[in-house]
């Protein structure tokens, strides 16, 4: 496979990642609606820890740098929390 083809594959994977990020933010909005219905706070440290644990386990299983995965998923969690604050009219806290 040529370098150009490999780079095209990487660009397709990057597009997929961005689409998945958009989907994750859509789901964060649904989570907010349910949290509001249940009277729960936006931030849930226990759930955040579970997300990180699940990500670390998958990274280990797939032999991916766990420190990098932790950093990426910490950013994803922050993005979801920020989105929920925005959707609730609170802005970023």
DSSP string, 1-48: --HHHHHHHHHHHHHHHHHHHHHHHHHHHHHHHHHHHHT--S--HHHH
pLDDT tens readout for residues 34-48: 999 999 999 999 999
pLDDT tens readout for residues 37-85: 999 999 999 999 999 999 999 999 999 999 999 999 999 999 999 999 9
Residues 42-52: b if buried by 16+ CB within 10 A, e if exposed: beeeeebeebb
DSSP state of 87: H
Domain ranges of the chain: 3-87
Give the CATH fold of the 3-87 domain. Chorismate Mutase Domain, subunit A (1.20.59)
Query: What pTM does this model have?
Result: 0.88
Q: What is the mean pLDDT of the chain?
A: 95
């Amino acid at each position: 496979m040529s370098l150009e083809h490999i780079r095209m594959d990487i660009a397709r994977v990057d597009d997929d990642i961005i689409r998945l990020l958009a989907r994750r933010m859509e789901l964060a909005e649904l989570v907010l609606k349910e949290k509001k219905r249940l009277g729960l706070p936006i931030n849930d440290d226990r759930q955040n820890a579970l997300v990180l644990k699940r990500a670390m386990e998958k990274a280990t299983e797939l032999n991916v740098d766990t420190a990098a995965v932790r950093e990426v998923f910490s950013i994803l969690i922050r993005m979801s929390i920020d989105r929920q604050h925005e959707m609730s009219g609170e802005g970023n806290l």
